[in-house]
Amino acid sequence: MHHLLVFNIIDQIRTLGWPGFWSLLRNGIVSGSLLALIALGYTMVYGILQLLNFAHGDIYMVGAFIGYGVLQAFGGAEMASFPIVPLIIIMFAVAMVGSGVLGVAIERVAYKPLRNAPRIAPLISALGVLFFLESSVQLLTNSAHVLYEGVYLGGNYPSTFGPLLNSVFTVDGIPFTTVDTLVVLAAVALMVMLVWLVYRTRFGKAMRAVAFDREAAAMMGIDVDRVISMTFFIGSVLAGAAGVMYGLYIGDTSFTLGFQYGLLAFTAAVVGGIGSIPGAMLGGLLVGLFQNFATGYVGGQWSDIVVFGILIGFLIIRPNGILGSKAIQKV
C-alpha cells in the first residue's frame, strides 16, 4: 500500500508539471509569510516569558474581524470603484492598533499576575483566554462566516476588492496576483521593521536583554514590565496585520480561524527554534511550503499528517528547532 502512495505522488508531480510547481511555490510563499508573522508573535513572547501563548492565534482572528468591521463601516465588500489603497491602509492601521491593545490587555489581566507561579499556570490561563476570546467572537458574530471579498469575477455585480485579484505577472502561465504580491511585500516590510527594531535600537537591546536574563536586566535599570508589554504589543500588531492580509487573500473568515492557524503558526515557531526571531520567519516559510506542496502532491487528506510527521521527525532529530539555541539546564 505504501509503494502505491509513492507512485501516486510521482505521478502527480509529473501531471502537474512546472505550472503546478510554480503554483504551489507561490501558495507556499504567501501562506508562509502569513504564518511567519504569527509565529513571530509566539516566538517573541516565548523568548521573554518562556510562555507558550496559545491565545495568540485568536488575536490574529480578532485582527481579521476588526478589518472586516472597518470594511463594513465604509460600506461593505460590494462597493463599486471605491479607492482601495486608502481603504486598505485604514483597515491595516485600525486592525493593528486594535490587536496590539488587545494583546497588552490580555498580558496585563491573564499573565502578569502569574509571573512567579509554576510554569503550568500561565499555560492554563492562556487556554482560558483562548476559550474566552473564541466564544466571545462567536457570540458577537452569531457564528457566521463573513466575507471580505464579496462576490466577484465573471459576474456583473460590484466588488470592492475585485481589482486585487488581477494578475501582476505570470510565470509559465500561473498568475501572481496583486494580493499575492501585496501580502508578501507587506510581510517582508513588517519583518524588516521588526528586525531593525530588535537589533538596531536601544529598545530592541532592552528586549533582548530581558529575554536573556530578566533579573539582571531589571537590575540594570530596564523597566521589565514595560518591555514585556511592548513585546506583546508588537507581537499582536504583527498578528493583526496578518489577520487583515488573510482576509484580503482568502476572502472569508469565521471565529474558528484562530485555532487552526494558531496551531500551524505555533508549529512554525517551534520548527524554526522557539525563542529565535529569524527562526520563526524561516519556520513559517518552511511550514507554508511543506503544507502546500503536500496538499498538491500527496492529496488533501494526507497533507496534514505528512506535515506533522515531518515536523515530529525534525524535532526528534534536532530538538531545539533549526535556529534554536540549546537550553542550558541549571541544577
Site for another protein in 73-112 (CB under 8 A): 105, 108-110
Task: Tell me the site size for another protein, rule CB under 8 A.
Answer: 100
Rounded to a whole number of angstroms, the minimum distance from the CB of residue 202 to another protein is 27
Cell (9 digits) for 231: 513585546
Site for another protein in 144-173 (CB under 8 A): 144-147, 149, 151-157, 165, 167, 173
Phi, psi of 170 (to 5 degrees): -125, 145
* 3-state SS assignment for residue 175: strand
Question: With binding defined as CB under 8 A, does residue 258 bind another protein?
Answer: no
- Return the number of the residue (86 or 128) whose C-beta is nearest another protein: 128
- Decide: residue 169, CB within 10 A, 0-12 exposed, 13-18 middle, 19+ buried: exposed
- The DSSP-derived string for 248-297 is HHH-EE-TTHHHHHHHHHHHHHHHH-TT-HHHHHHHHHHHHHHHHHHHHH
Question: With binding defined as CB under 8 A, does residue 311 bind another protein?
Answer: yes
- Residues 6+ positions from 237 with CB-CB distance below 8 Å: 96, 97, 99, 100, 103
* 3-state SS assignment for residue 116: coil
- Return the number of the residue (127 or 189) whose C-beta is nearest another protein: 127
Alpha-carbon distance 265 to 242, whole Å?
11
- Return the number of the residue (12 or 87) whose C-beta is nearest another protein: 12
Site for another protein in 107-136 (CB under 8 A): 108-110, 113-114, 117-125, 127-136
Exactly one of 73, 216, 305, 325 binds another protein (CB under 8 A); that residue is 305
- Decide: residue 137, CB within 10 A, 0-12 exposed, 13-18 middle, 19+ buried: buried
Exactly one of 9, 12, 205, 218 binds another protein (CB under 8 A); that residue is 12
Q: Which stretches of 148-223 are DSSP H helices?
A: 178-200, 202-212, 214-219
Question: With binding defined as CB under 8 A, does residue 62 bind another protein?
Answer: no
- Return the number of the residue (52 or 237) whose C-beta is nearest another protein: 52
Exactly one of 9, 97, 174, 209 binds another protein (CB under 8 A); that residue is 174
Site for another protein in 27-56 (CB under 8 A): 27-28, 30-31, 46, 50, 52
Site for another protein in 186-245 (CB under 8 A): none
